[in-house]
Amino acid sequence: MLEAHGYELTPEDRRVLQAVQDGLPICERPYAAKAQELGISERELLDRLRRLRQREVIRRMAASIAHRKAGAAANAMCVWRVPPSRLAEVGCRMAERREVSHCYARKAVRGWRYNLYTMIHARTRRACLELIRELSRAVGIEDFVVLFSERELKKTWTRI
């Protein structure tokens, strides 16, 4: 049996995890459709996923947006140097923007003084840069670096 976080996965746990790891169908009741595929009830599937979540075998269930397919052809990682006393405030303000898909803090290290990272999506590079300038003015942070994505090389998750 496979062990995860001190919890032994049952064969049924593994079957459920394998069934949902590639996503759910786009329909009115995706969990019901997946449960039917597995030959179990929707309630049983949801209960099992809930238990796996409570045991921290899975962290979350979330939608993943294919930004380029959705028309956001320009993607930029913008790293910011934010005073530690303002990190939560600035991070929250940036994360409120719909164009910002990821916003997280990291410790600055010697040779790399940036401690706030934002992933920004727009239709064009120019629109990304305009948004970054707007964010900079709004929060009063002028020390940042913009790193544009050239292409997506890999987008996968842990698999069983």
Question: What's the Cα-to-Cα distance from 74 to each of 21, 46, 126, 138, 155, rounded to whole Å?
Answer: 28, 37, 9, 22, 17
Give 53 or 82, the one with higher predicted confidence: 82
What pLDDT is attached to residue 80?
A: 98
Domain boundaries, the chain: 3-54, 74-148
**Alpha-carbon span 80 to 78, nearest angstrom:** 7
| 113: pLDDT strictly greater than 80 | yes
| 145: pLDDT strictly greater than 70 | yes
CATH class name, domain 74-148: alpha beta
pLDDT tens digits, one per residue of 56-87: 888 877 666 555 565 556 789 999 999 999 99
Mean pLDDT across the chain, nearest whole number? 87
Give the type of residue at 70: A
Non-local (6+) Cβ contacts of 81 within 8 A are 108, 113, 114, 115, 116, 141, 143, 144
Reduce the DSSP state of residue 16 to 3 states and report it: helix
Stated pTM of the model: 0.60
What pLDDT is attached to residue 41?
A: 96
Mean pLDDT lowest for which of 6-15, 36-45, 73-82, 87-96? 6-15
Instruction: Say if CB 145 and CB 79 are below 8 A apart.
Output: yes
Average pLDDT over residues 7-29: 89
Mean pLDDT lowest for which of 12-26, 29-43, 51-65, 122-136? 51-65
